[in-house]
Amino acid sequence: MHELGVVFHVMDTVKAAAQREQAKHINKVCLEIGEVSTVIPSLLQDCWKWAVAKDDMMTECELVIHGRKAMTHCNKCHKDYPTTVFEKICPYCGSDDTYLLTGDEFIIGDIEVV
């Protein structure tokens, strides 16, 4: 389970940003996670609750996760389609000359601090 490592990375990143702004506590962190990013949101939430309970600067910090749909683009017919439904093969023309447009993101968004 790499979600715990991801949580530690996010915590370190947001704490460094909060400390630069001389914040005392972090109340909320918002993440954008693509549906093919390999991060499982429910496991991330479980790890988050465990980790922030042990950190004075982040105790009871809320984690808000916004999902991003995976979309793929076909270079042959120039159409976009949902990746998780059709994977690499374009449903319009059958080509495998495709690439992922969105859906593998992992972005730290808003941070609410005191």
Q: Is residue 53 part of a domain?
A: yes
Q: Is residue 28 part of a domain?
A: no
Output the pLDDT for position 8.
Answer: 97
Q: Is residue 32 part of a domain?
A: no
Q: In terms of DSSP H, where are the helices of the chain?
A: 3-20, 41-52, 83-86
Q: Is residue 18 part of a domain?
A: no
Q: What is the mean pLDDT of each run of 10 residues along the chain (114 residues)?
A: 91 97 97 96 97 97 97 98 97 98 96 95
Q: Is residue 31 part of a domain?
A: no
Output the pLDDT for position 62.
Answer: 98
Q: Is residue 100 part of a domain?
A: yes
pTM of the predicted structure, to 2 decimals:
0.87
Output the pLDDT for position 72.
Answer: 98
Please tell me the total count of domains within the chain. Answer: 1
DSSP string, 51-82: HHTT-TTTTT-EEEEEEE--EEEETTT--EEE
Quote the CA–CA distance of 25 and 42 in Å, as a whole number. 24
Output the pLDDT for position 2.
Answer: 87
Q: Is residue 74 part of a domain?
A: yes
| Full domain range(s) for residue 87 | 3-13+38-113
